Structure 1
Amino acid sequence: MNREEQEQQGIALLAPRPELIPLAADRPRVLVFDVNETLTDMTPLAGLLEHVGLPGHLLTAWFAGVLRDGVALSLAGGHATFAAVAGDGLRALAAGEEGATDPEQAAAHVLAGLPELPLHPDVRGGVRALRAAGYRLATLTNGSADTTRAVLDRAGLTDCFERHLDVAGPGRWKPAREAYAYALDAMGVPAGAALLVSVHPWDIDGAARAGLATAWLRRTSRPYPTTARPADLTATALPDLATRLGAT
């Protein structure tokens, strides 16, 4: 069995597995999923960066900068869409790289790739198992709900989710409390009835402070930061999480 087959079956690739904090008997029935890097594989964007004359390895720094600048705007009382902040970052990179495409064209080319991103191999099976078990599913992203919908439509998972939400509604990027409150209101449940699933510890921390249960999807070997509130559950793939939530 190769690595991809293991991922699809939710077999743990990281050892030793950390001890998990069990959820209460009245476990949440609404699961709110982060999107970028949690459900979608963003690595194809490295190829788009290279196509416009930018080094592919800048993908990580660019995405981190988008999150930094979007959250900073929220902290300052402002707001901008993910596309606007991401476009600013791409134009800055292109303007500073000799031989790069015109900054406007470079930004447009890379941003056009967001709705075409693939899902991680484990997502289809995990999402369907959770939905079949009776969990209500929604997405909440700092990006665009329309982009989320396009990705999940292409994967045939539209029927599994009740709502696709983004931070345009609350006007505050995650991890602001208002973003999670917006999702709870949209799903019609109190914080104690929902669980956030994310690959990002800062997202887990924010949701925990807003009163939600949390599940950290550990897709890399990087340790969980000691300064963040710990996740209630840790899983290496969505089928693994489904098992821990009694869905399989």
Structure 2
Amino acid sequence: MNSTPSVIVFDVNETLSDMSPLSARFVEIGAPAHLARVWFASLLRDGFALAAAGGTAQFSMIGSEILRGVLRDVDLTRSLDDSVRHVMDGFETLSLHPDIADGIRDLKSAGLRLVTFSNGSAQVAESLLTRAGLRGEFEALLTVEDAPAWKPVRAAYDYAADVCGVKPGDLLLVAVHPWDIHGAAQAGLRTAWLNRADEIYPSFFAAPDHTITALGELATQLARDSHPAHRP
């Protein structure tokens, strides 16, 4: 295995994108802000369960159906259909976390290939990066919609390696989600856990190869790994 990965693979939702504005969309339809986190956790839960049972479905479809259930007993300020549409449309308006842009440029300047890989649609990643002026830094925007299964199923990461034309060990996944780190590690990828919120990493998941609090730290850590200090 090379000392430095050749391809950096970025998760999208919450890793690149700041999803906190979606809470305001819940408030705008008359729902409490905390339902945004309940809904997103439920979306992931059912997507994972479907994948574990050998099935798959689009992120947007699962998200919309889960949202209907979450909002069913809420006194909404607009129709249920309009409310669901308003929340789901919010994915197309999200911005990058503040640490992302410079970190991406540093990794690109280091000669690394950059791709995204999301359980959501490639269009969301396209819009996010285009608005930030960073689309040109990425050679591909991958989605599990073209893979055999959702992340964290191994086949999803194998798909990413195949598309990039490298072995899994030449990929390094960057994600805020420990479940994604674990799935990637089990598939043979290297990993970097982006821990912005000073959280505790679950001991039952495979430990990340790198832990960073901002994306800009990753290029420095990789450079140090490839040029270790000389010890007499």
Q: TM-score, normalised by structure 1?
A: 0.87
Q: 2:213 aligns with which of 236, 239, 242?
A: 236
Matched, 1:71 2:21: no
Alpha-carbon shift at residue 100 of structure 1 (Å): 5.0
Matched, 1:144 2:121: yes
Q: In the alignment, which residue of structure 2 is the partner of 1:199?
A: 176
Q: TM-score, normalised by structure 2?
A: 0.93
Q: In the alignment, which residue of structure 2 is the partner of 1:85?
A: 62
Task: Say what the alpha-carbon RMSD is for the aligned residues.
Answer: 1.3
Distance 2:141 2:200 in 1: 29
Q: In the alignment, which residue of structure 1 is the partner of 2:86?
A: 109
Distance 1:37 1:99 in 2: 26
Alpha-carbon shift at residue 166 of structure 1 (Å): 0.6
Distance 1:31 1:207 in 2: 12
Distance 2:39 2:217 in 1: 30
- 3-state DSSP class of the match of 2:92? helix
Matched, 1:208 2:185: yes
Say which is worse superposed, 88-97 or 176-185, in terms of deviation: 88-97
- Asked if 2 retains the 8 angstrom alpha-carbon contact of 1:91 and 1:107, the reply is yes
Matched, 1:51 2:31: no
Return 5+ residue gaps in structure 1 as ranges: 1-23
Q: In the alignment, which residue of structure 2 is the partner of 1:30?
A: 7
- 3-state DSSP class of the match of 2:96? coil
User: C-alpha deviations, 1:29-48, integer Å up to 9, x for none?
Assistant: 11100000000000000000
State the number of aligned residues.
Answer: 224
Q: Which AA in structure 2 matches 1:195?
A: L
Distance 2:219 2:41 in 1: 29
% same residue: 47
- Asked if 1 retains the 8 angstrom alpha-carbon contact of 2:7 and 2:171, the reply is yes
Q: Which AA in structure 2 matches 1:90?
A: L
